[in-house]
Structure 1
Amino acid sequence: HARAHASQAARLMDVLADIYLNPVFDRREITRERRVIKEEIAMTLDQPSHHVLELSDETLWPDQPLGRSIAGNERSLNRTRRSELAGFHTRHYVSGSTVVVAAGDIRHRDLIDLAKRLARQIPAGSRSSWFPAVNGQVRPQIKLFTREMEQTQLALGIRTCSRHDPRRFALRLANVILGENMSSRLFQSIREEHGLAYSIYSTPNFYHDTGSLTIAAGLDTAHTQKALKLTLDELRRLREKPPAAGELRRARDYLIGQLELSLENTESQMNWVGEQLLGFDQIIPPDEIKARLNEIR
């Protein structure tokens, strides 16, 4: 995506369309980018708080795309050739997988005219297929990665619902109560009351046919067992006893406030619309999302 003065919309579309439709895939650039991605992988390994999240996904979704790092690994990078990149572009950069979105000082009919230029050039094709998530787990799974360092990074992953499931609104509220901010139960218990961790949080992830809730913390190894027990206690409390009306209202106010703040600039609005069209094949108005959140009791 790109950002420019409204008067440059046509030129911007031409540049973006050229990048999108006519990549060169220069072998020297591929070699250079391969080195850059290897450095990115090394950087993730040097940041245990990031690495533990990749290990959690790998454990939740073993031997399938959802469980693999988007950066790949050294082996996959070394064996990827120009012909594979070009083939991927040919198969997936087609009309059925393409969405054109603009936000700002531009009229809808003007965007349609600009998009028509792209439509004349882009190859026809249907949306790319996807790989359904597979869950064959029948008992709790543990993955341990050991290295010499000061802290233990802990991640607890739980499979949840997809981005199309109406329960996702309740899950978003439950996550705020559980661990999304400094007022959350996990933060107040494990950091403020017991002083076991500097950072602890929970975050939901929504995919096409499944989802997850991940709780992550960085703490002294000696405190791992106690922190895990307290985390499970909070999960159990959330399951067995509904939150009080005031706590639920504060969580709802927080989510609605975050939604409104996230749409205050044109780039955020553009991303919002694009994600809605790609993820839901429609634009779900912010007011509808607020209404769904207000329905949760």
Structure 2
Amino acid sequence: MYQVTRLTNGLTVATKEMPHMASVSLGLWVGVGGRYEPDALNGVSHFIEHLLFKGTKKRSAKEISQAVEGIGGYLNAFTGEESTCVYSKARHDRFDELLEVLTDMFLNSKFDPAEIEKERGVIKEELAMYLDQPQHHVQELLTETLWPDQPLGRPLTGTEKTLDAMARADLLNFLRTHYVTGATLIAAAGNLSHKRVAKVVARVAPRFPTGKRPRFVAADNAQTRPRCRLFTRKTQQTQLALGIRTCSRHDERRFALRLLNTILGENMSSRLFQVVREDRGLAYNIYSSLAFFDDTGDLVISAGLDTDNLPRTLKLILGELRRLRNAPPTASELRRARDYVVGQIDLSLENTESQMMWLGEQLINYGKIIPAPEIKRRLAHVTAREIRDVARDFVRPERLNLALVSPLKSENNLARLLRF
């Protein structure tokens, strides 16, 4: 059973009791990420995430790691467009120690100038590493193409320019104004008691800075024709990412989109995998994926292939998108897609870490917990015609965006293919 307690200062505590488990997973979430950043501070959320590991008033960076790893646990973090999370996992009887380490990192990090400079260099190396990977670079390029000149289109890591310009005062000011109780959630899952977790958190809650969750800049979805972006570099393959702007996570059509994505390219029995790889051998891997945000979303088709096969592969991809618009999937195809998604939901909630992640994502993104059985019920009611209709809503020329990292010198001939 999921339980949620909202403390008087605005801090939220959520748990999933799993008494049969040996572990407990704990996450300290903040409903702030890349799209909350002004242009000049692009990458500040990710920078702060790194610096939370670099020493507090009573622990060095090494001692932070030792405090968790020394009790048989592990510690990690991530930054997204709309949230940041620092999390850990250990044996259930070590919960108090995990909570003490995470709150120490969150409340007492020193942001030592020497550590800031070191980490600035580390993040630049991370940025260079991603740009050296064409399959990652093409996704960054697509993001810029889907959401030009706005926060959603900027890299979460920031750029060399913004990283170089970011001062300690900028980091501390963003932390002070954004990492507040109204945006903060402590989520835990495992062999625990909600009552006890809420009581322990309540003791440290007064130390958290109070405030309401900040707002972000709304997405600008203006687009009147297909867009194509090419980055020319000497590579063995062309990396392709075709993005389609869709709807937000609050839109009822998201359930039909989830099944459409499975039919299109989520697994090895999908249409794209069968047509492009199995039938014609044009790519080693091709897949589609969904991303939902608070006010918009996207469906992305990704592939790596021989440059000579690019026009043919792109025509096949567009042919499958056209097919989704023209006719509903068969009853058996719909059944398989639904069974796959339902199975993936169940498998994704098997352990304490995945349950903690579910809690955090639900409460940060929706402000409430939508139970898995309710999501499965909604998926069960999606019809084949609704899948066709949602394809007609979103698979349109003015929503198409193509990004390529390739030896090609020009994308002009490809841009003409982005038509229905």
Q: What is the alpha-carbon distance in structure 2 between the residues aligned to residue 51 and residue 140 of structure 1? A: 20
How big is the shift at 1:3?
Answer: 1.6
Q: What is the alpha-carbon distance in structure 2 between the residues aligned to residue 221 and residue 283 of structure 1? A: 45
Checking the alignment, whether the CA contact within 8 Å between 1:179 and 1:186 is kept in structure 2 is: yes
Give secondary structure in 2 for the equivalent of 1:55.
helix
Match of 1:105 in 2: 191
How big is the shift at 1:9?
Answer: 2.0
Q: What is the alpha-carbon distance in structure 2 between the residues aligned to residue 42 and residue 10 of structure 1? A: 38
**Corresponding position: 1:116 with 2:202:** yes
Match of 1:204 in 2: 290
Q: What is the alpha-carbon distance in structure 2 between the residues aligned to residue 274 and residue 86 of structure 1? A: 24
How big is the shift at 1:6?
Answer: 2.2
Q: What is the alpha-carbon distance in structure 1 between the residues aligned to residue 216 and residue 203 of structure 2? A: 29
How big is the shift at 1:2?
Answer: 1.4
Amino acid at match of 1:231: I
How big is the shift at 1:51?
Answer: 0.7
Amino acid at match of 1:180: E
Match of 1:217 in 2: 303
Match of 2:92 in 1: 6
How big is the shift at 1:267?
Answer: 0.7
Q: TM-score, normalised by structure 1?
A: 0.98
Q: What is the alpha-carbon distance in structure 1 between the residues aligned to residue 91 and residue 227 of structure 2? A: 52
**Corresponding position: 1:20 with 2:106:** yes
Give secondary structure in 2 for the equivalent of 1:129.
coil
Checking the alignment, whether the CA contact within 8 Å between 1:178 and 1:202 is kept in structure 2 is: yes
How big is the shift at 1:54?
Answer: 0.8
Q: What is the alpha-carbon distance in structure 2 between the residues aligned to residue 214 and residue 193 of structure 1? A: 22
Q: Deviations over 1:61-109 (max 9, x none)?
A: 0011111110111111111111111011101111101111111111111
Which of residues 243, 256, 271 is equivalent to 1:170?
A: 256
% identical equivalent positions: 57
Q: Deviations over 1:229-266 (max 9, x none)?
A: 00000000011100001001101111111111111100
Q: Deviations over 1:156-190 (max 9, x none)?
A: 11000101111111101000000001100001001
Q: Deviations over 1:7-56 (max 9, x none)?
A: 22223222211111121101111111111111111111111111111111
Q: What is the alpha-carbon distance in structure 1 between the residues aligned to residue 210 and residue 235 of structure 2? A: 52
How big is the shift at 1:5?
Answer: 2.4
Checking the alignment, whether the CA contact within 8 Å between 1:132 and 1:209 is kept in structure 2 is: yes
Checking the alignment, whether the CA contact within 8 Å between 1:92 and 1:128 is kept in structure 2 is: yes
Q: What is the alpha-carbon distance in structure 2 between the residues aligned to residue 4 and residue 117 of structure 1? A: 22
Q: What is the alpha-carbon distance in structure 2 between the residues aligned to residue 288 and residue 167 of structure 1? A: 15
Match of 1:57 in 2: 143
Match of 2:276 in 1: 190
Match of 2:153 in 1: 67
Checking the alignment, whether the CA contact within 8 Å between 1:162 and 1:211 is kept in structure 2 is: yes
Match of 1:259 in 2: 345
Give secondary structure in 1 for the equivalent of 2:302.
strand
Runs of 4+ deviating beyond 4 Å: none
In the alignment of these two chains, the number of paired residues is: 297
Give secondary structure in 2 for the equivalent of 1:216.
strand
CA RMSD of aligned residues (A): 0.9
Checking the alignment, whether the CA contact within 8 Å between 1:99 and 1:274 is kept in structure 2 is: yes
Amino acid at match of 1:200: I
Q: TM-score, normalised by structure 2?
A: 0.70
Q: What is the alpha-carbon distance in structure 1 between the residues aligned to residue 220 and residue 204 of structure 2? A: 37
Residue ranges of structure 2 left out of the alignment (5+ in a row): 1-86, 384-420
Q: What is the alpha-carbon distance in structure 2 between the residues aligned to residue 228 and residue 4 of structure 1? A: 47
**Corresponding position: 1:288 with 2:374:** yes
Amino acid at match of 1:8: R
Task: Select between 273-282 and 127-136 the one with higher mean Cα deviation.
Answer: 127-136
Q: What is the alpha-carbon distance in structure 1 between the residues aligned to residue 262 and residue 169 of structure 2? A: 45
Q: Which has the higher strand share?
A: 2
How big is the shift at 1:294?
Answer: 0.3
Match of 1:125 in 2: 211
Match of 1:80 in 2: 166
Amino acid at match of 1:166: E
Match of 2:322 in 1: 236
Checking the alignment, whether the CA contact within 8 Å between 1:21 and 1:93 is kept in structure 2 is: no
Which of residues 116, 127, 132 is equivalent to 1:46?
A: 132
Match of 2:58 in 1: none
Amino acid at match of 2:222: G
